[in-house]
Amino acid sequence: MPGSEPAAHCYCGHQFGQFAGQLGDGAACYLGEVKVPPGQDPELLRENPSGRWEIQVKGAGLTPYSRQADGRKVLRSSIREFLCSEAMFFLGVPTTRAGSVVTSDSRVIRDVYYSGNPRHERCSVVLRIAPTFLRFGSFEIFKQADEFTGRQGPSYGRDEIRGQMLDYVIEMFYPEIQQNYPDRVERNVAFFREVMLRTARLVAQWQCVGFCHGVLNTDNMSILGVTLDYGPYGFMDRFDPDFICNASDNSGRYSYQAQPAICRWNLVKLAEALAPELPPDRAEAVMDEYLDLFNRFYLDNMRKKLGLLQKEEPEDEILITQLLQTMHNTGADFTNTFRSLSQISCPAEGEGEGEVVKKAADLLLDQCASLEELKAANKPTMDPRELAMLLSMAQSNPALFQMISDRATIARQLDRLSRLKDLMESSQEELTAKHADDWTSWITRYRKRLALELEGQSDVQAVQEERVRVMDGTNPRVVLRNYIAQNAIEAAENGDFSEVQRVLKVLERPFCSQTASTSTARSAVPYDSKPPAWAHEICVT
């Protein structure tokens, strides 16, 4: 590209909790930056005050950091990154963007599932755009030798470079902080607090759309608080707090419910990497704010999802927790259940409460899993003999047990076994009746809370209309479920890119109230329906 100066970015990272040392862009290549001319969209300027957009290609070939890999990306992973980065943008979640995907006739061998069955796949390149691709791991290149892995950053001891990097990031991407804090230490503390705040807000948004990143290593965390690096991600179908989208994450370190805590852990590692420019005691004080900030962002968003707009009641958090527990118990679809809630009306004089609640329960029962689906979902992922051995080892040799497993993993497996046992002793009719009771109970509590929204309101109809408008603008009708992406990928691999284009158009209007389009691949399934039976077989690593 004329005028470009290609480069690869050197960074380090903590991967699955262990410092991996030098990593870097093994397949991505920086082409340069585009400076937006004066008069650009004010909203865009607020999003990126630097006015510069970094252009990067991913999958272009070998870089100095490719290690034993070939620097190539394939059509499958490129389409997944392209579609998801655009889907997240239109959902209103901060993210890097994708400009294009270009594929070729060149092929590389990939073992998709690490099963010993490699296949040839088309080489492809995705164009990525962001104000910067700097990440937490960018500052870990200065790390001293790690006490556990023995690895150290390639620039250990180069403190002057760390100061220069910090100056660049703050001056370019946090100009208001640079202007408002003449004292260097106070400036750095303010910068770290802003990164912490943006990260807390980001992960709260992930949780509220059912998004699971899959590989939340420090090298995949943006210094700007945007979603970065789309690999084995997944949007939840059936709600499960222990949802793991990455089939390689055997311990569940990056599960859905673990994401807020993992982001906090990564922020602590960033603080360590910034010391002594960021005094450790000041960083610790900032981190003490993280949980409260996350909870505030999460509850604010969840109240919108439930249409609780007029008041903030102490019991709201309990109501949300009970909703998620009911969804888990009934195997309810995450996206569709929240979307359906706007159809549950506020209480009105003269209506039959029992009839209204039953109608609402029937609506939500349509989004629940069948007995066979729940049996499949709760089948332990660990062989029973392995589980028995580990349980015995935990009692007889705790030290050895801790080296090869952990109690949280075992607890999840035992919980699955317990749920499966109960399901095996139930019939579909009994299960449906129990699910109906569960939903009836929650809907009754929900409508009592909605009644509080109407207190002191003179125009009840206006309150109801505003509630529906906000809910339908917060709860998407369509997200990029794995089966939707897989259908598009399979069509593209056979030379038909129309499904990718069709999916992109749908994802650009995720809150649209019209019935979503229907996939043309495999058996026709509307994009806004529950996933087909074969969807649970999709494995992403």
**Token output for 457:** 């309101």
Asked, as a colleague might, if the bond just before 276 is cis with ω within 30 of 0, I would say yes
Tokens of 307: 């249409």
Question: Active site residue: 219, 229, 333, 472, which one?
Answer: 219
Task: Please report how many Cα atoms fall inside a 13 Å half-sphere around the Cα of residue 161, on the Cβ side.
Answer: 13
User: Cα separations (Å) of 458 from 59, 245, 312, 463?
Assistant: 59, 47, 19, 9
Amino acid (one-letter) located at 187: R
In the beta sheet, which residues pair with residue 126? 58, 101
CA distance 226 to 211: 14
Terminal CA-CA length for the chain:
33
Name the phi and psi angles at 105, rounded to 5. Answer: -90, -10
- Between CA 168 and CA 373 the distance in angstroms is 52
Neighbours of 88 (CB within 10 A): 27
Q: How far apart are CA 237 and CA 89, in angstroms?
A: 20
**293 CB burial (10 A radius; 0-12, 13-18, 19+):** middle
Query: Is there a catalytic annotation at residue 219?
Result: yes
Is 313 buried (19+), middle (13-18) or exposed (0-12) by CB count in 10 A? Answer: middle
Q: How far is residue 197 from each of residues 131, 204, 225, 260, 385, measured CA to CA in Å?
A: 18, 11, 8, 12, 45
Contacts of 246 (CB under 8 A, 6+ apart): 214, 215, 231, 232, 234, 254, 540, 541
User: Would you please indicate which residues are annotated as catalytic (active-site) residues?
Assistant: 219
